[in-house]
Structure 1
Amino acid sequence: MASRTWLVPSGLVALSLVPSVAGAARLTQLATGAEVTEANQRFFDLPLPVILHIVGAVPFCIVGAFQFSAALRRRWPRWHRLAGRALVVCGLVTAASGLWMTFAYDLPAADDAATNVYRVIFGSGMLASLLLGLAAVRRRDFRGHEAWMIRGYAIGLGAGTQFLTHVPWLVLSVTPSPFTRSFLMLAGWVINLAVAELIIRRPRATHVRRDRRLVEAAG
Structure 2
Amino acid sequence: MTISAKTVNVAAWAAIGIACLIYAPMAIEYMAQYFTSHAPELYLRSLSAVISLNPDSQVGSLVHHQLPTYVNSRWIMLVHTVTAGLALLLGILQFSKRVRRNWPAVHRFSGRAMLIIVAASMITALAFLFRTGSAATTSGPPFFNILLIFAICVLAAAVLAFLAIKERQIKLHQAFMTYMFAMLLTAPIIRIIVITLLLVASSESFDSDFMIGAGVAGPLAVFGAAVVVRRFGDRSVEPGSSIVDHPAIARGSWVAGAIGLVAVILVGAELVGQVDLPLAAVTFATVALLLACVALRLRSRAAGDHQAAKDWQILQSALVATPVACLGLWAIYCLFWPAPVAFYCAVLASPVVAISLGYLPFALLRRKSAVRAPSTTVAAH
| TM-score normalised by the chain length of structure 1 | 0.82
**2:188 corresponds to 1:157:** no
Q: Which amino acid aligns with 1:189?
A: G
* Mapped partners of 1:178, 1:196: distance in 2: 28
The answer on whether the counterparts of 1:12 and 1:62 sit within 8 Å (CA) in structure 2 is: no
CA distance in 1, matches of 2:232, 2:76: 40
TM-superposed CA distance for 1:108, in Å, is 4.5
User: Is the contact made by 1:92 and 1:127 (CA closer than 8 Å) also made in structure 2?
Assistant: yes
Aligned to 1:26: 30
Structure 1 unmatched runs, 5+:
208-214
For residues 139 and 15 of structure 1, the distance between their equivalents in structure 2, rounded to whole angstroms, comes to: 33
The worse-fitting range, judged by mean Cα deviation, of 177-186 and 158-167 is 177-186
The answer on 1:65 being equivalent to 2:92 is yes
- Report which of the two structures shows the higher radius of gyration computed on alpha carbons: 2
Q: Which residue of 1 aligns with 2:153?
A: 125
Letter of the structure 2 residue corresponding to residue 26 of structure 1: Y
Amino acid paired to 1:176: S
Q: How many residues align?
A: 210
Q: What residue in structure 1 maps to residue 361 of structure 2?
A: none
Percent identity of the aligned residues?
19
In the TM superposition, what is the alpha-carbon distance from 1:148 to its structure 2 partner? 0.4
- 1:57, 1:156 within 8 Å by CA — same for their partners in 2? yes
Match of 1:94 among 108, 118, 121: 121
Letter in 2 for 1:65: I
Q: 1:141 aligns with which of 149, 161, 169?
A: 169
* Larger helix fraction of residues: 1
Provide the alpha-carbon RMSD of the alignment: 3.0
Pair 1:90–1:203, CA change in 2 (3 A): closer
Which residue of structure 2 aligns with residue 212 of structure 1? none
* Distance in 2 separating the partners of 1:66 and 1:12: 12
- Kindly provide the amino acid, as one letter, of the partner of residue 128 in structure 1: A
- When structure 1 is superposed on structure 2, of 73-82 and 43-52 the one drifting more is 43-52
Q: Structure 1 residues 22, 162: CA separation in 2 closer, same or farther (over 3 Å shift)?
A: same
Once the two structures are TM-superposed, the CA of residue 103 in structure 1 deviates from its matched residue by: 1.3
Letter aligned with residue 68 of structure 2: Q
2:182 is paired with a residue whose SS is helix
Structure 1 residue 47 displacement after superposition: 1.3
In structure 2, what is the Cα distance between the partners aligned to 1:76 and 1:109? 42
How does the TM-score come out when normalised to structure 2? 0.49
- Mapped contact 1:16–1:160 kept (Cα < 8 A): yes
Letter in 2 for 1:42: T
Structure 1 residues 9 and 177, CA gap change in structure 2 (3 angstroms): closer
Q: Hey, what does 2:65 align to over in structure 1?
A: 38
